Amino acid sequence: MNNKELARYELGDTVAIYLSGENNGAPGLIMVPRSRLKDRVEWRENLEEDCIGQLPETWLPMPAREIDPLAHLHIRGDARPGGFSQGRSLRNSRSIKKLRLEDHSVTRDGMNTVIKTRLNSDRGCCVIHKLSHTEGEMGVRIKTFLRNESDQPITVEMLSAFSLGAITPFDRGDASERLFAHRLRSAWSAEGRHECQSIEELQLERSWSGTGVSCERFGQTGSMPVNGWFPFIGIEDRAAGVFWGAQIEAPGSWQIEIYRRDDQLSISGGLADREVGHWWKTLDPGMEIASPEARLASVSGSFDELTNRLTSMQRPAALVQPSIERDMPIVFNEWCVSWGNPTHETLLAVADKLANSGARYIVIDDGWAGRDSDVLTQQNGDWEVDREAFPDGLSATCSALRERGFIPGIWFEHEVVNAGTEAFDETAHQLHLDGVPLQVGSRRFWDFRDPWVHDYLSRKLIAFLRDNGFGYLKIDYNETIGLGCDGSESPGEGLRQHLEGVQTFLTKIRNELPELVIENCSSGGHRLEPSFQALTAMGCFSDAHETPEIPIVAANVHRAILPRQSQVWAVLRKQDSTQRICYSLAAGFLGRLCLSGQILDLSEVQWTLTRQALDLYQELSPIIANSDFRRFGEWGKSYRHPSGWQAVVAHYEGEAFVVWHTFENAPAEVSVPLAQERQYRIKHELADPASASTAFVDGARLELRPGSDWRGGVISLTS
């Protein structure tokens, strides 16, 4: 190889290779699947195209590649990067080029390996890059720390969490037409759309001389981190069959960059910088700031294998939730029953209907607090119980639900206050922007940097939950703050500190009420990122309640969060055919089943089918909790008008199940691959009793004749 290696580490089935930087500068980091090390090639040193040969000899040779530093930052006052990159990237600023390698060390403690790389400049700017791996995990975790060890303040305007270079190590040149970028788009009720584009389509080819920078920088600005994109990137070398991917912990503004100046591609990401997130931070002498954590993986395999590796790194946090969560109880949420008008009587009727059904949580959604007759939103901020709907208070409702064997839950949107409340006028404790209260629509926002807010919410929320006997909290969040707020050196830093306070308060809730089950909802899926998921038992997959695209969105979200933490709506109506009921219930098997709708009005046939589904769900819940899901099918370009079919397969310890759906213009037959090493047979089936479908196992495939459009079902398999 024509690269001097600083160090090499085997971390599970992945090898992390640190490449020595030029003149003892910042080293680079590459990752290679261990099984593919032998396929690495010798990279060319210089560009070889004919057009290069026409240049003056004094300009030659033109290098084909440089070491991409394992971290990037920009300090105010340093020269900004060239190559026409201003407004597109702050990577490769003079700030990173001033750094020199001071120390590189590895510590192994039991199952944990920590690799630290310390960089320093002559003016006391210290960067510590920390890569950690736990035996059994399918990827690595990286954080970057910036410390001011000088005697003068410094202002940082960009700091990456990670940077991974040398993509691809399997081509000696510029890897023409073999590299593809994979991203997950997101929109309200249409979360997780997979987008794959070639590097050429993104116009990220190397320029003819390597002079110009090409960069695709994307991310999100505001307090809804999954508003536009998920904080994820995947790069595929299609010729080699290898993927690299990264997922960032991102409670607020973030960015990811796909960067090209020479033969090889680089990816990096972290806090949204000054140009994207209106963020800069002044560090006084002795101060330090840490980037969010990034999780990285590489795999010789498929895109779903890559995303499964990254989501599996969320499992340790999911396993430290309240003990009742181990069995993945079914949720009933009354939102689609009353659409914001819950009552004591309705909830008890629902509880009686659900007796011995496997449902354990009954959640009172928005509308339990008082409100003026001419407004739709309840009194967020004051949260005074509506005594017409709950004449004896919510404590009586909770007691009655617990007597029936259920855990009562309640909806709060505690980070905001609404117009018409007394809290709305507490502007001294709310976020401001440009000197005035920050208001979006009808909402203002508590300032979670303010201890008064934590004390107020401890009384209004934590004490309320404890005193009334709630065991489940649905946290909603239905607006984004935007670029940031006053009170810090930049709007973006104000936002970062505020969201740090939000998560500190969430931790306080967990500490004071350790058996409380918490749901992470933000207009459905706007906070489905690792740091919020780690603090909660599950997240709402979407606000898609009764739409035909629910199975598609639910399967999309598997690529970003664990299925066991993805709560999927199954809303039932009295006018639904058994075909429609089966379609809705089957989608719930793609995550945590959340039942809602007019269950009190279902016919005996409809309710019998529903109970069969709930029984089967409980039987299959261990597979949902532990399996990696694989997806097959063709469903067209439109989510609102899907066509074709979808099947999702889950395997665990010799058991499996298939969730299938057909859309418009469904094929007469579909064939679904199963695990090659097993010989399965059909054990149980959830299917519409009114119209026949046919399924049978043929070797390592499930052959299905669905019968018609707009159908769904679940097939349980055993070996």
What is the Cα–Cα distance from 481 to 663, expressed in whole angstroms?
37
Given CATH 3.20.20.70, say whether it is the number of domain 327-620: yes
Structure tokens at 229: 């994109």
| pLDDT score, position 408 | 98
Non-local CB neighbours of 13 within 8 Å, separated by 6+ positions? 33, 34, 35, 138
pTM of the model: 0.96
Task: Give the domain ranges of the chain.
Answer: 5-313, 327-620
| pLDDT tens-digit series, residues 395-450 | 999 999 999 999 999 999 999 999 989 999 999 999 999 999 999 999 999 999 99
Structure tokens at 212: 């110009």
| Torsion angle, alpha carbons of 388, 391, 394, 400, to 10 | -130
What are the two backbone dihedrals, phi and then psi, of residue 331, each rounded to the nearest 5 degrees? -105, 140
Structure tokens at 704: 């299905």
| pLDDT score, position 1 | 40
Over the chain (719 residues), the average pLDDT of each successive run of 10 is 82 97 93 97 89 86 90 96 92 95 96 97 94 97 98 97 96 96 97 98 92 95 98 98 98 98 96 97 98 98 97 96 96 96 97 96 95 70 95 98 98 95 96 98 96 98 98 97 97 98 98 98 97 98 97 98 98 97 98 98 97 98 95 96 97 95 96 89 94 87 94 96
| pLDDT score, position 375 | 58
What is the Cα–Cα distance from 289 to 155, expressed in whole angstroms?
11
| pLDDT score, position 33 | 98
Closest to 62 in 3D by CA, of 49, 80, 75, 79:
49
DSSP state of 525: B
| pLDDT score, position 378 | 72
Alpha carbon distances (Å) from 690 to 24, 94, 546, 660, 661: 73, 70, 21, 17, 16
Question: Amino acid letter at 396?
Answer: A
The CATH number of 5-313 is which of 3.40.50.720, 3.20.20.140, 2.70.98.60, 3.40.50.1000? 2.70.98.60
Q: Check: CB of residue 496 under 8 Å from CB of residue 278.
A: no
In sequence order, the β-bridge partners of residue 7 are 18
Alpha carbon distances (Å) from 615 to 349, 577, 636, 660: 21, 20, 32, 18
| pLDDT tens-digit series, residues 3-51 | 699 999 999 999 999 999 988 999 999 999 999 999 999 999 998 888 8
